Amino acid sequence: MKYSDKFNEIFDRSVNDYHKWDNVDAEMINPFNQGTLEYFLYEKNWIDAVQWHLEDIIRDPGIDPVKALAIKRRIDNSNQERTDLVEMIDSYFMELFSNVIPRNDATINTETPAWAIDRLSILALKIYHMKIESERSNASNDHIARCKEKYRTLLTQREDLSLAIDQLLTDIEEGRKFMKFYKQMKMYNDPALNPILYQSGKKN
The string of DSSP letters for 42-100 reads: HHHHHHHHHHHHHHHHHT-TT--HHHHHHHHHHHHHHHHHHHHHHHHHHHHHHHHTTT-
Q: HSE (CB half, 13 Å, CA atoms) of 35? A: 0
Residue 129 is assigned to a structural domain of this protein = yes
- The region, left, alpha or beta by phi > 0 then psi within -120 to 50, assigned to residue 52 is alpha
Residue 77 is assigned to a structural domain of this protein = yes
Residue 202 is assigned to a structural domain of this protein = no
Q: Which long-range contacts (CB under 8 A, 24 or more apart) does 50-57 make?
A: 50/18, 50/24, 50/78, 51/75, 51/78, 51/79, 51/82, 52/125, 52/129, 53/22, 53/24, 54/24, 54/78, 57/24
Residue 198 has what pLDDT? 67
**182 pLDDT band (50/70/90 cuts)?**
confident
Residue 198 is assigned to a structural domain of this protein = no
**193 pLDDT band (50/70/90 cuts)?**
low
Could you read off the pLDDT of 17-55 as tens digits, one per residue? Answer: 999 999 999 999 999 999 999 999 999 999 999 999 999
Q: What's the rounded Cα separation, in Å, for the pair 97 and 174? A: 9
When divided into structural domains, the chain yields a total of: 1
- This prediction's pTM: 0.90
Q: Average pLDDT, whole number, for the chain?
A: 93
Residue 202 has what pLDDT? 52
Residue 174 is assigned to a structural domain of this protein = yes
pLDDT at residue 183 is higher than 80: no
Residue 197 is assigned to a structural domain of this protein = no
Overall average pLDDT of the 133-145 stretch: 95
Residue 121 is assigned to a structural domain of this protein = yes
pLDDT at residue 203 is higher than 60: no
Residue 199 has what pLDDT? 75
Residue 204 has what pLDDT? 46
pLDDT at residue 148 is higher than 50: yes
Residue 189 has what pLDDT? 65
Which residues constitute the domain of residue 84? 3-185
Residue 1 has what pLDDT? 83
Overall average pLDDT of the 8-19 stretch: 98
Residue 145 is assigned to a structural domain of this protein = yes
Residue 62 has what pLDDT? 96
